[in-house]
Chains A and B, each alone.
Chain A
Amino acid sequence: MRLPSYRYRAPKTVEDAASWLAESPGDTMLLAGGTDLIPNMKRRQQVPATVIGLRGIAALSRLDTREGTDIGAGVTLTTLVRDERIRSKYQGLWQSAAQIATPLLRNMGTIGGNICLDTRCTYYDQSFEWRQAINFCMKKDGETCWVATSSDRCLAVSSTDAAPALMALGATVRLVSALGTRDLALGGLYANDGMSYLTRRPDEILTTVHLPEPAGWRSTYWKLRRRGSFDFPVASVAAAARFDGDRIIEARIVLGAVASCPLDVPAAGTRLAGQVLTDDLIAAVADDAYALAKPMDNTDFELVWRKKTVRSLVASALRELRGDDMREARVRLARHPLLVVS
């Protein structure tokens, strides 16, 4: 399968990238590791006239852990996974990154690309000819949403593994354009819409992800997928909590792959604050998450089952935060040993 024709530009600085992007933001796309964009271009889901390659911008590959942590958008997932500071301070992020795609894809894929990953749908992640055979769909070249034919919006799935983990850890992101710079909470970058899934303007570049110092925080990430590698999540949960002894002071739970955006579970935070993690409390929080999850029939597995598993995932995550030994359960459920070459 061949790439369509496009014009390639390689800026050396964020400023150049921003001004080139501003020239024609509607039909220009940014290329980081290319592990999402290139397949999409081959399948003609995304056909930018101009592609701006970011890999020459040294500033984007910095990983700085002096005050909190600043991760450049161009930092690869492998770099993150090999970083001892990330591993010890932001366990949930580390776990999520270690389970993304495959080792080869993690060598290419960046954190910025992961955050901006196109939403996914089994009616959409198909070749041009396949989509022609269903007369296309609302997200690209067509009108109907085949997942829910009466839906007036696209229900494609947010499939990024890192974003839920980052949101649970309170990440903010920096967006730079020719017009200026803005910082926003990562959650604010997302909209629950399969087509306009980012609030990022087309002329903006994501440059940095900032994580606060994790003093007192513990975090974890549980991912469900068919196989131990390659597969995108069909449901996932990131949980982070600040503890005082056994007692939770504050907590955040974010679900992945059950909506068109990473799904914050606010009820969980409220319910957990000030509490000790008992089995009953864990079950109640799992119910909160279950109620919120809205998987659709556009990924691997049946949607009813995916929704059900959200309960188990949340419960497992909370048990791990409580300090239960979940290693065996994790290997069984995630089929991934969380071992990586350092």
Chain B
Amino acid sequence: MKLRLTFTVNGEPAEALVDPDKTLLEVLREDLQLTGTKHGCELGECGACAVLVDGQPLLSCLVVSHECQGRSVVTVEGLTVDGRLHPLQECFADLGASQCGYCTPGILIAAKALLDREPHPTRDLIREALSGNLCRCTGYQQILDAVEAAIVRPGHASARDGRGGQS
């Protein structure tokens, strides 16, 4: 028996008929084909699968599909508003915070949740808030720099897509 799941994804109503044994991660990636959300363990041990559920960053690999009914989910695909990147996305791209980019969606989600609650975190607080996300590439420094830069970057800066010359 399939489960009819009705919820909100990235601000839009979503409905899916899913295998009830699936996790939110599997529903997002397989049934909604929102593959921006990643997985590195499926056991809660890496943070790659983080999404916002009702505004809180959770690990989608540990959320059962039944418990998504009626809730509001935001994935990395939902961070871009009106075709403009979120300041965090701009800064991550500009400052090398994303190397292979595989941990990036989860970290962006955790960072967004942080800035939504605390618009001016210290570097130590950013470290703590992101400590549920592993990255094997960057050594974290450029991620910290990027979050700090996003704190001061006004609203949605214009997208600058590798057009050379910018820092």
Residues of A within 8 A of B (CB): 1-6, 8, 10, 31, 33-35, 38-39, 42-43, 51, 53, 55, 78, 101-105, 107-108, 228-230, 336-337, 339-342
Q: Is the CB of B23 within 8 A of A3?
A: yes
CB distance from A63 to the nearest CB of B (A): 16
A-B contact count (CB 8 A): 97
- Which of these binds chain A: B58-66, B80-88, B94-102, B144-152? B58-66
Question: B114: CB under 8 A from chain A?
Answer: yes
Question: B67: CB under 8 A from chain A?
Answer: yes
Q: Is the CB of A108 within 8 A of B62?
A: yes
Q: Is the CB of A3 within 8 A of B64?
A: yes
10 A-B Cβ contacts within 8 A? A6-B21, A34-B64, A38-B23, A103-B131, A108-B58, A230-B45, A230-B132, A337-B124, A339-B124, A341-B121
Contact of B59 among A2, A104, A339 (CB under 8 A): A104
Can you name the residue of chain A whose Cβ is closest to the Cβ of B127? A337
Q: Is the CB of A103 within 8 A of B132?
A: yes
Can you name the residue of chain B whose Cβ is closest to the Cβ of A103? B132
Q: Is the CB of A104 within 8 A of B118?
A: no
Q: Is the CB of B20 within 8 A of A8?
A: yes
In Å, the complex CA distance between A103 and B50 comes to 11
Q: Is the CB of A38 within 8 A of B44?
A: yes
Question: B156: CB under 8 A from chain A?
Answer: no
Pick the 10 closest A-B CB pairs, nearest first: A102-B132, A104-B132, A229-B131, A39-B43, A8-B66, A38-B62, A3-B21, A103-B132, A1-B42, A107-B56
In Å, the complex CA distance between A218 and B52 comes to 36
Q: Is the CB of A104 within 8 A of B57?
A: yes
Q: B128: which A residues are within 8 A, CB to CB?
A: 103, 229, 336-337, 339-341
In Å, the complex CA distance between A104 and B110 comes to 8
Question: B133: CB under 8 A from chain A?
Answer: yes
Contact of B118 among A5, A78, A107, A342 (CB under 8 A): A342
In Å, the complex CA distance between A38 and B59 comes to 11
Can you name the residue of chain A whose Cβ is closest to the Cβ of B59? A104
Q: Is the CB of B67 within 8 A of A53?
A: yes
In Å, the complex CA distance between A2 and B22 comes to 7
Q: A10: which B residues are within 8 A, CB to CB?
A: 66-67
Interface of B is mostly: mixed
Question: B117: CB under 8 A from chain A?
Answer: yes
Can you name the residue of chain A whose Cβ is closest to the Cβ of B26? A2
- Encode contact with A along B120-135: 1 for CB under 8 Å, 0 otherwise: 0110110111111100
Contact of A105 among B20, B130, B132 (CB under 8 A): B132
Question: B105: CB under 8 A from chain A?
Answer: no
Q: B125: which A residues are within 8 A, CB to CB?
A: 339, 341
CB-contacts of B41-56 with A (<8 A) = 42-45, 47, 50, 56
Given contact pairs A53-B66, A103-B110, A42 touches B132 in the complex (Cβ within 8 A): no
Can you name the residue of chain B whose Cβ is closest to the Cβ of A56? B67
In Å, the complex CA distance between A5 and B22 comes to 9
Q: A34: which B residues are within 8 A, CB to CB?
A: 62-64
Q: A105: which B residues are within 8 A, CB to CB?
A: 44, 59, 132
Q: B42: which A residues are within 8 A, CB to CB?
A: 1, 42
CB distance from B4 to the nearest CB of A (A): 14
CB distance from B47 to the nearest CB of A (A): 6
Can you name the residue of chain A whose Cβ is closest to the Cβ of B22? A3
Q: A78: which B residues are within 8 A, CB to CB?
A: 56
CB distance from B14 to the nearest CB of A (A): 20
Q: Is the CB of A8 within 8 A of B110?
A: no
10 extra interface residue pairs, beta carbon distance < 8 Å, beyond A53-B64, A78-B56: A2-B21, A5-B21, A35-B59, A38-B23, A103-B57, A104-B47, A104-B133, A229-B131, A336-B128, A340-B128
Contact of B132 among A2, A51, A101, A339 (CB under 8 A): A101
